[in-house]
């Protein structure tokens, strides 16, 4: 399969060696990446596996630069350098598991999703990828003090059975991850999706605890171990810092206790049945729930 010229290889195609039963792991900043958990997890896997950047998809045709603006940096305080939104591919060879990996870390494009997805499929086909795992993170009414719920889904019944996943039954709006899975299905490449639930009241905070949960789930599917010590330490520090912030606000502490009670009472099958950005309440709905809780609490205090 010919690769679209909008993919810029950093070396000639003929110099890219064959990979061992490669898996593609992909994560995108944006709608699919609450708390930066998915992109954080993919970047961590790339670093841990000593992945080498092999190329990028030219952003020109796929981004509205007024919506996702490039950034300007100064090198040595003098030279101006523009960094464009990117979708970069990395190769990880010689992992301790039985297979090599391609890692795609990027930003959800604004335009031409079908064309973009076809380019990703072409690259996967070139390297002989037979399994794709996408990482995602979504906002949910879960407390930061409990284990991070992670759900693995797939549309292929054989893959569901082989990897112990759930069959995806989601219907509704989707992101680039959903479009990619459809493109891989049509190309005959098996794909699965891992989603971590991120506390909605910590939406703007990078969440290493959710990233750690995604990493642990991903390596379980890939069969290649990854060093998680630094990420585990970051997760512990994150939870401690959030505990301090929440403890300083009585309303927030009470709200988190309510979420803890719900999490403890919720049947595991029900709570993990399907995690997808639109199968759970929207961020606006969750924010409204928090506002209602605080308003009711305030009205109760007035009555006392």
106: in domain: yes
Report the alpha-carbon distance of residue 274 to residue 195 in Å, rounded.
Answer: 9
59: in domain: yes
Q: Residue 152 half-sphere exposure, CB side, CA atoms within 13 Å?
A: 23
Q: Which domain holds residue 81?
A: 7-303
249: in domain: yes
Most confidently modeled of 49-53, 116-120, 128-132, 270-274? 116-120
Percentage of the chain with pLDDT > 90?
57
169: which 2 tokens? 């039954």
Rounded to an integer, the average pLDDT of 187-216 is: 93
Query: What are φ and ψ of residue 78, in 5° steps?
Result: -125, -55
Rounded to an integer, the average pLDDT of 137-152 is: 91
pLDDT value of position 280: 47
pLDDT value of position 12: 62
Tens of pLDDT along 166-200? Answer: 887 777 888 999 999 999 999 999 999 999 999 98
pLDDT value of position 2: 81
Q: At what angle do helices 37-48 and 208-222 cross, to 10 degrees?
A: 50
**Torsion angle in degrees (nearest 10) through CA of 181, 183, 188, 194:** -10
Domain count for the chain: 1
Q: What band does 270 get if pLDDT is binned at 50, 70 and 90? A: low
169: in domain: yes
For the chain, what is the mean pLDDT? 85
Burial class (CB in 10 A: 0-12, 13-18, 19+), 61: middle
Report the alpha-carbon distance of residue 217 to residue 155 in Å, rounded.
Answer: 18
pLDDT value of position 276: 46
Nearest to 202 by CA among 37, 91, 57: 37
DSSP 50-64: T-EEEEEE-GGGT--
Q: Are the C-beta atoms of 111 and 63 separated by less than 8 Å?
A: yes
pLDDT value of position 304: 35
Coil, strand or helix: which one is 105?
A: strand
Tens of pLDDT along 54-103? Answer: 999 999 999 999 999 999 988 877 778 899 999 999 999 867 778 899 99
pLDDT value of position 13: 55
pLDDT value of position 112: 97
229: in domain: yes
262: which 2 tokens? 């719900």
Give the number of residues written for the chain. Answer: 304
Q: What band does 272 get if pLDDT is binned at 50, 70 and 90? A: very low
CATH number at residue 198: 3.40.50.10900
pLDDT for residue 268 is more than 90: no
Q: What band does 284 get if pLDDT is binned at 50, 70 and 90? A: low
1: in domain: no
2: in domain: no
pLDDT for residue 269 is more than 60: no
Give the residue with greater pLDDT, 39 vs 282. Answer: 39
CA distances from 201 to 184, 197, 255, 283 (A): 34, 12, 10, 9
């Amino acid at each position: 399969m010919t690769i679209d010229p909008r993919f810029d290889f950093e070396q000639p195609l003929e110099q890219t060696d064959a990979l061992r039963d490669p898996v593609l792991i992909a994560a995108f900043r944006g709608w699919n990446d609450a708390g930066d958990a998915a992109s954080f997890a993919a970047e961590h896997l790339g670093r841990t596996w000593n992945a080498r950047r092999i190329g990028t998809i030219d952003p020109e045709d796929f981004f509205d630069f007024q919506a996702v603006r490039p950034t300007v940096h100064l090198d040595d305080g003098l030279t101006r350098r523009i960094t464009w939104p990117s979708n970069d591919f990395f190769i990880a060879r010689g992992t301790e598991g039985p297979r090599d990996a391609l890692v795609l870390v990027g930003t959800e494009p604004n335009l031409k999703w079908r064309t973009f997805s076809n380019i990703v499929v072409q690259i996967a086909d070139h390297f002989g990828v037979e399994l794709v795992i996408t990482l995602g993170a979504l906002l949910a009414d879960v407390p930061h003090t409990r284990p991070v719920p992670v759900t693995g889904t797939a549309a292929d019944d054989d893959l569901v059975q082989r990897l112990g996943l759930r069959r995806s039954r989601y219907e509704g709006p989707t992101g680039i991850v959903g479009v990619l899975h459809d493109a891989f299905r049509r190309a005959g490449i098996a794909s699965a999706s891992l989603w971590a639930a991120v506390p909605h009241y910590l939406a703007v905070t990078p969440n290493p605890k959710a990233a750690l949960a995604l990493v642990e789930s991903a390596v379980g599917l890939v069969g290649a171990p990854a060093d998680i010590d630094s990420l585990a330490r970051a997760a512990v520090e994150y939870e401690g810092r959030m505990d301090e912030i929440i403890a300083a606000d009585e309303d927030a502490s009470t709200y988190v206790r309510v979420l803890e009670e719900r999490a403890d009472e919720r049947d595991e099958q029900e709570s993990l049945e399907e995690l997808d950005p639109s199968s759970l309440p929207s961020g606006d709905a969750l924010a409204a729930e928090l506002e209602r809780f605080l308003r009711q609490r305030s009205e109760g205090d007035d009555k006392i």
